[in-house]
Amino acid sequence: MNDLARRIAENLAQVRSRIEAAAKRSGRSADSVALVAVTKYVSVEMAAAAVAAGCHDLGESRPQELWAKAAALADSNIRWHMVGHLQRNKVRRTLPLVHLIQSVDSKRLLSAIDDEAAGLGRRIDVLVEVNICGDAAKTGLPPDALEPLLQRAQALDHVRVRGLMGMARLEGDAEAARRDFAALRSLRDRLESRVTPRGSLSELSMGMSGDFEQAIEEGATIVRLGSVLFEGLEGSQCSPWNPIPKAPFFPCGLTPRPAATKSKASAPAACKFRSPRHPKKAKPTKPSSACWPNRSGCERARSNLSPARRGPENGF
């Protein structure tokens, strides 16, 4: 075993010990909690080392990264989880690879998954992502939108909703996270009593590197962990102080163009009048905001986050 594999195995053993202790405090066994290693910011080699250490459930936030790692690790016994936003135009390529989609957040996505699963002759297990804390920056359905989606799911033949997924608010301490997790569990219980058969929503995916013990104590059956497993290892960008990848991601696939600048020599004189003879000066063209990574927003959110709760699984 090389040094990288040894360190990941040590981290995994420590995390499993903490999971066992938290499960015991909630009156359950460690076997009732599944650990999904989020490989969003780690290399293929590190993901392979996690599998070699005994963690066979891996999660990805971006479909393209999941496709690439699944191809590179095709010979490994891995259960892939889609834990980030999934666009409908990426469903067809993603479905054959995944064990569980944890981030269904609309009826349209649910229907798209059902259509593609029918073509594969499979029944796909999914979780519904809930924005339990009401944070406008988070994806997921508001709690009052879940009943119509679950009613729609019962009419589909190739999708099975197994439970709910949610994240605690970024601001606040461990007790604030605990309240969010308790609210998600209570929401699940109410839905089972009104909409779905009892026991059908058996999975609660909640808890990340900074708050997974509180999540387990409040009933989590799946925890999604990244930085607590990989932080500080060579080849990993999992760091609470450097959560943004070194290579900026541009959704449109283009390198941004610097904003146009005006020199004093070429700038027209200020105009006192606004008339057809004195039109307003045209503003310089700026690149699309979609081409720029929102670093300032990340930095503001990160500054409000306690060090214990910063981690790449929630983007910070």
Which CATH homologous superfamily contains domain 3-239? Alanine racemase (3.20.20.10)
Task: Tell me the per-residue pLDDT of 276-292, one tens digit each, with 9 for 90 and over.
Answer: 454 555 555 554 444 44
Place of tokens 């999941």: 66
Cα distance between residue 274 and residue 198, in whole Å: 69
Question: Is pTM, for the whole model, over 0.85?
Answer: no
DSSP for 48-91? Answer: HHHHHTT--EEEESSHHHHHHHHHHTTTS--EEEE-S---GGGH
98, with CB counted inside 10 A (0-12, 13-18, 19+), is buried
Task: Tell me the per-residue pLDDT of 50-105, one tens digit each, with 9 for 90 and over.
Answer: 999 999 999 999 999 999 999 999 999 999 999 999 999 999 999 999 999 999 99
Average pLDDT (237-251) is 42
Tell me if 230 sits within 8 A of 41, measured CB to CB: yes
- Return all residues near 273 (Cβ < 8 A) that are at least 6 apart: none
